Amino acid sequence: MVPKNEYHVCVIGLGSMGMGAARSCIAAGLSTYGSDLNPAVRDSLARAGAVAVGPDAAAFAAQLDAVLLLVVNAAQCRAVLFGENGLAAKLRPGTGVMVSATISAADAQAIGAGLAEHGLLMLDAPVSGGAAKAAAGEMTVMASGSRAAFDRLRPVLDAVAGKVYEIGEEIGLGATVKIIHQLLAGVHIAAGAEAMALAARAGIPLDTMYDVVTHAAGNSWMFENRMKHVVDGDYTPKSAVDIFVKDLRLVTETALTLGFPLPLASTAYTMFANASNAGYGKEDDAAVIKTFAGITLPGQKQEK
């Protein structure tokens, strides 16, 4: 076992989840590096104790034992790993690459094949739990890959995860489990928004409706977390509307591949796509409620 401070990991993508994961790696005693195009988040991680940061990981690639990829989508994964100045060619053979973006099984398999050509070990390992659990090192990880990949990335898993599900060896299984999870997450947000919109239309104070639901059987983690944003009138993005447009598209495409009907997920996708089309794509995903007409939400001016 490599001593913690001699294990070098780079977190690529320092958004709310990536920053939390990187700070958790630092807290666990791993020698932690960070990469992001945003200089403000790079500086923040440097102040938190990162060994080095940069707009890409090229400067320290040869020192790394592991890479944790927490970017938005498959295109960004491919660009980081295989694009111009791609990282895969710069990593030492045997380095572990934990791909934690929400992507399709086919994309995960293609990325895995590309990494294998460079002698790299991939863990198909999407995550869930939000910014708070990422910061606490308590994310849920849904992972598939070889035993060698799990072993190589164990220090990272121990640092960032409260629960690790080892789903199997086949790359793509982790991605599929995350996609099914996102079906539920997206439907729960959409249903919560619909319920709160109905309450607004009926003249019920939304803080009262929120309190009732969160102490009754209709509650869910997504309702409790996201509908609080609606009550507060705060749509600062933790996870944006456009993220669920992407994720629910993956859900529906997976269902189409399997010839399987998903009526609720399809409706939720339409709701998020409508919200994005209306200009709310960069706001918190709770902003899907803003597409309901004839209601006034907290923080909005009273409609005439």
pLDDT tens per residue, range 124-172: 999 999 888 999 999 999 999 999 999 999 999 999 999 999 999 999 9
Give the C-alpha separation, 264 to 186, whole Å. 10
Of 153, 169, 185, which residue sits at a domain end?
169
- For residues 46 and 76, state if they share a domain: yes
Round the average pLDDT of the chain to a whole number and report it.
96
Percentage of residues in the chain having pLDDT higher than 70: 97
Domain encompassing residue 24: 4-169
- For residues 110 and 189, state if they share a domain: no
* pLDDT at res. 304: 41
> Is 246 one of the catalytic residues?
no
pLDDT tens per residue, range 88-118: 999 999 999 999 999 999 999 999 999 999 9
- Among 4, 163, 178, 301, the active-site one is 178
Say whether pLDDT at 303 is over 80: no
Of 169, 202, 236, which residue sits at a domain end?
169
Looking at residue 138, its amino acid is: E
pLDDT tens per residue, range 38-67: 999 999 999 999 999 999 999 999 999 999
- For residues 286 and 164, state if they share a domain: no
Of 114, 146, 169, which residue sits at a domain end?
169
* pLDDT at res. 131: 86
pLDDT band at 86 (very low <50, low <70, confident <90, very high): very high
Instruction: Return the CATH number at 272.
Output: 1.10.1040.10
